[in-house]
Amino acid sequence: MVCLFWLATGVAARAMELPSVAEVWEVVTLENYNTRLVVLSTALLGVASGLVGSFLLLRKRSLMGDALSHATLPGIGIAFAVGVSLGGSGKSLPLLLAGATVSGVIGVLVMLAIRNTTRLRDDVAMGLVLSVFFGIGVAILGMVQAMPQASAAGLESFIYGKTASMVKSDFFFIAGVAAASALIAVLLFKEFTLLCFDDDYAASQGWPSFGLDLLLLGLVTAVTVIGLQAVGLILVIAFLITPPTAARFWTERLPRMMGLSAVIGGLSGWLGASLSALLPRLPAGAVIVLVAASLFVFSMFFAPARGVLGRWLRHRRLRKKVHRQHLLRAAYELLEAHARGSGNGGRGTSIINEPFDRADLQAKRTWRPRELARIIRSEIAMGHIEEAGEGRLRLSEEGFGEAARITRNHRLWEVYLVKHADIAPSHVDRDADMVEHILEADLVRRLEDELRDRDAWIPSPHSIQ
């Protein structure tokens, strides 16, 4: 996706003239007055939607923003018609956005009504409101665009978005709404968290669940509506969804996630609007979405907390460890069997660290030869195993201690799981290797007695050394 992004911008850049260094500098430093307004307001919008979108994501209603933004179209059309018939140009931004808000809110209410009074699920309610309202909007636009008094051509930008030139009052309006939404989201952090985590509990505690829900959707509406012009109604939900989803990969703490989401949203808005100002005819909405998407892809792969790469590495490390333990345990059990078979046998036989055959090791478990060879190589590198000539292997002194420890812990764990199956499940996610650290000393002693009875006891490695 990232490459696609560069491909696309590359293509777009070639199609237009590349901006000169001076132009780039002008945009980056926000020297141009109009650019400054546009870039600042879009960045602020990104911050606000990053915050509000976090709650929307956790409420599992991300796509509701999509339905909502589509539902604003009839309002835009009607507001335009009203504006024109009142004698204006019909393109007053506050009027259009007021219309968008009204029909967006109606859309949300219809959605909630469908969900609460029919068997239909959320997804159906959303798709229904989205398509029907958008259809009505298209029909209304079809009518008003034919109005002789004014040209409605600019209305299309509400669908695809463009970094329009912006007058100061528009800027203050958009910046004001964005700042207010962000502020409310932060002030009501505790309440929204509770609502998103456990709405029934919130209601049982006397919080107005439904009211908070409406307020959250109100904030979503506000952010969506002020984002319509810059990003367009199809893509504006990316502003609400992508930053918080990307931020979620980095942390398990909500305040941090929200902060990061605000940063990612702000960055996407700022970069997207700047790029779009630099390269004429580049739709701002698309660029913003692609910047956010690139950040998302990066987070999804490389975020250490929940990213794909981090999880894969952890999984690999675990597998390696399991293999190593299997190998050392198999080696130890070979020696154990040998000691019992050769000598006096029975209790208290001391186990001698002597060379053993590779083939015996192979027969011990169902591992593929190549796999076994790899594990042995890595253990030799770690100094646990040494070559003893003639295809034989030997445990090093350190490896012998380690093998004894692993085997002992494993046996303790086995007994524990069998004997104390009732309390064990709360510990099963733990590592058998950690048995001494999880269980109380008293319990470990009792488990050891159990092993002694079964003639499978191994002295604690601390006493070996």
Partner 1 sequence: MNWTSFDTWIVITAALCAVACALPGCFLVLRKMSMMGDAISHAVLPGLAVAFLITGTRASSAMFIGAAIVGILTAVFTQWISKVGNVDRGAAMGIVFTTLFAIGLLLIVRAADHVDLDPGCVLYGAIELVPLDTVRLGEFEVPRAAAVLGVVLIANFGIVVALFKELRLSAFDPALADTLGFSSRFFHYLLMTMVAVTTVASFEAVGSIIVIAMLIVPAATALLLTRRLIPMIAIACGVAFLAAALGHVSALTVPRWFGFDTTTSSGMMAAMTGLLFGLAWLFSPSEGLVIRWLHQRRGSDGLRGGSPAQG
Partner 2 sequence: MSELLKSMSPAGDATGEDLSFHPDDVPLAIHDLTVAYHRKPVLWDIDLDIPEGKLVGIVGPNGAGKSTLIKACLDLVPKTSGEVGIYGKPYRDQRHLVGYVPQRESVDWDFPVSALDVVAMGTYRRLGWFRRVGKKEREAAMAALEQVGVGHLADRQISQLSGGQQQRVFLARALAQDAKIYFMDEPFAAVDAATEEAIVKLLRSLNEQGKTCLVVHHDLATVSRYFDWLVLLNMRVVAAGPTSELFTEENLEKTYGGQLNLLNDAAKALSHATR
Token pair in block for residue 438 = 């999880």
The torsion of the CA quartet 171, 177, 180, 184, rounded to 10 degrees, works out to -150
Q: Give the one residue of 19, 88, 127, 355 binding partner 1; rule: CB under 8 A.
A: 127
* Site membership for partner 1, residue 183 (CB under 8 A): no
* Site membership for partner 2, residue 211 (CB under 8 A): no
Interface characters, 297-316, with partner 1 (x: CB under 8 A): ---x-----x-x--------
How many angstroms separate the CA atoms of 230 and 157, rounded?
Answer: 8
* Site membership for partner 2, residue 193 (CB under 8 A): yes
CB 217 within 8 A of CB 52: no
DSSP 8-state symbol, 196: H
How many angstroms separate the CA atoms of 44 and 268, rounded?
Answer: 10
How many angstroms separate the CA atoms of 247 and 256, rounded?
Answer: 8
Task: Give the strand pairing for 356-357 and 385-389.
Answer: unpaired
* Site membership for partner 1, residue 134 (CB under 8 A): yes
How many angstroms separate the CA atoms of 448 and 46, rounded?
Answer: 61
In the region spanning residues 55 to 84, those forming contacts with partner 2, defined by CB under 8 A, are: 58, 60
Going from the C-alpha of 143 to that of each of 51, 88, 96, 140, 303, the distances in angstroms are: 37, 18, 16, 5, 49
Residues touching partner 2, count (CB under 8 A) = 32
How many angstroms separate the CA atoms of 77 and 289, rounded?
Answer: 25
* Site membership for partner 1, residue 160 (CB under 8 A): yes
* Site membership for partner 1, residue 131 (CB under 8 A): yes
Instruction: Look at residue 153 and give the partner it binds from partner 2, partner 1, none, a contact being a CB closer than 5 to 8 Å depending on partner kind.
Output: none
CB 362 within 8 A of CB 372: yes
Q: Specify the long-range contacts of residues 438-443, CB closer than 8 Å, at least 24 apart.
A: 443/416
Shortest distance (Å) from residue 111 CB to partner 1: 12
Interface characters, 146-185, with partner 2 (x: CB under 8 A): ----------------------------------------
* Site membership for partner 2, residue 454 (CB under 8 A): no
Q: Give the one residue of 191, 357, 431, 433 binding partner 2; rule: CB under 8 A.
A: 191
* Neighbouring C-beta atoms of residue 203, cutoff 10 Å: 15
Q: Give the one residue of 35, 41, 42, 62 binding partner 1; rule: CB under 8 A.
A: 62
Nearer Cβ to partner 1 (194/303) = 303
Instruction: Look at residue 426 and give the partner it binds from partner 1, partner 2, none, a contact being a CB closer than 5 to 8 Å depending on partner kind.
Output: partner 2
* Site membership for partner 1, residue 322 (CB under 8 A): no
* Site membership for partner 2, residue 440 (CB under 8 A): no
CA-based torsion, 330, 335, 336, 341: positive or negative: positive
CA-based torsion, 436, 439, 443, 447: positive or negative: negative
Nearer Cβ to partner 2 (304/459) = 304
- For residue 394, which phi and psi values (nearest 5 degrees)? -145, 145
Shortest distance (Å) from residue 66 CB to partner 1: 6
Binding footprint of partner 2 on the chain (CB under 8 A): 58, 60, 187-191, 193-194, 196-198, 200-201, 203-207, 248, 251-254, 257, 422-426, 428-429
Binding footprint of partner 1 on the chain (CB under 8 A): 1, 4-5, 8-9, 11-12, 15, 57, 60-63, 65-66, 114, 117-121, 123-124, 126-128, 130-144, 146-147, 156, 159-160, 234-235, 237-238, 241-242, 245, 248-249, 281-283, 285-287, 289-290, 293, 296, 300, 306, 308
